[in-house]
Each structure stands twice: as structure tokens, then as C-alpha cells.
Structure 1
Amino acid sequence: MPNQESENASTLTPEQRLTPASFDVLRACIVTIPDVETVRECVAYENAHQNREPILRLLAQQASELRSK
């Protein structure tokens, strides 16, 4: 059974993950993404809204880490 923290992390929308003003909070939101599908949704959201290169790089890194597990 997943703990509450994991459950909360997996229920955030791409918008909720990618709108924190603080880069540290934003990075934390990205590294807690639990699966590649959620990373894809966040990439699509970022491309459609802000298209920030550093954020896209963090998302790519998270996808890579998830795939290597």
C-alpha cells in the first residue's frame, strides 16, 4: 500500500507540478514524479505553456531515471 506522500505526489496535475515560483520547489515536484507517463504529461504542459529549457531538461532527466529503474 503506498504511503500518503507517494499518493499525494502521484495525484498532482502537470500544472500543479510546474507552477511553483521557487525553482527548488519546482525541482522537488519533478523528482517526485512516479512514472514516465506523468513526465510526458508534464513535458506536454510545459511545451504548451512556458517552454522553459531548464525545466524540460529536469523532466528529461527524471524520465531517464525512471526508465533505468
Structure 2
Amino acid sequence: MSEQTTTDETPLTPEQRLTPENLDLLRAGIVTIPNVETVRECVAYENAHQNREPVLRWLAQQAAELRDEK
């Protein structure tokens, strides 16, 4: 089994970021989102699949932090 490395060239998909059942991994997938566009993609994915309020709040918080950095 080969190990896939994630880099800037191969970013995590919304599905990869939002499907871990471990809350620490799920939160890590959100806080490492690099830009607002990726947050939007993750919100769309979450709304279409699980629509979990805590996850949507974390995504909103990450988007706000990214906007504040600019």
C-alpha cells in the first residue's frame, strides 16, 4: 500500500477534510484550510452531506480568521 503525501500541489478535498470521525482530526482539517474559497467548498460539501452545526461554526470561524489575515 503506497502512502500519499498531501502538499500544496495536492490539497485535501472537502470530503477528506470533513469525514474523519475523530473530532481532533476533523478540527485539524478545518484549521489548516488555506483560503476562503476552500472554506466555501467545505461549507457546500457539509451542507450537502451531514449539515453538522458545530462543523459549520468551525468553518465560519476559519473563514473569519482568513479574512482577518488579509
**TM-score normalised by the chain length of structure 2:** 0.86
| Partner Cα separation in structure 1 for residue 28 and residue 45 of structure 2 | 17
Determine the structure 2 residue equivalent to 1:59: 59
- Higher-Rg member (1/2): 2
Aligned Cα RMSD in Å? 1.8
1:6-59 Cα offsets, whole Å, 9 max, x none, are 627x61000000000101100000000000000000000000000000000000
Q: Is the 8 A contact 2:6 2:12 kept in 1?
A: no
Identity over aligned pairs, percent:
72
Structure 1: which 5+ residue stretches go unaligned?
none
Q: Which has the higher helix share?
A: 1
Q: Letter of the aligned partner of 2:46 in structure 1?
A: E
Give the length in aligned residue pairs: 65
| Partner Cα separation in structure 1 for residue 39 and residue 63 of structure 2 | 6
Structure 2: which 5+ residue stretches go unaligned?
none
Determine the structure 2 residue equivalent to 1:21: 21
Report whether the alignment pairs 1:7 with 2:27: no
- Three-state SS of the structure 1 residue aligned to 2:34 is coil
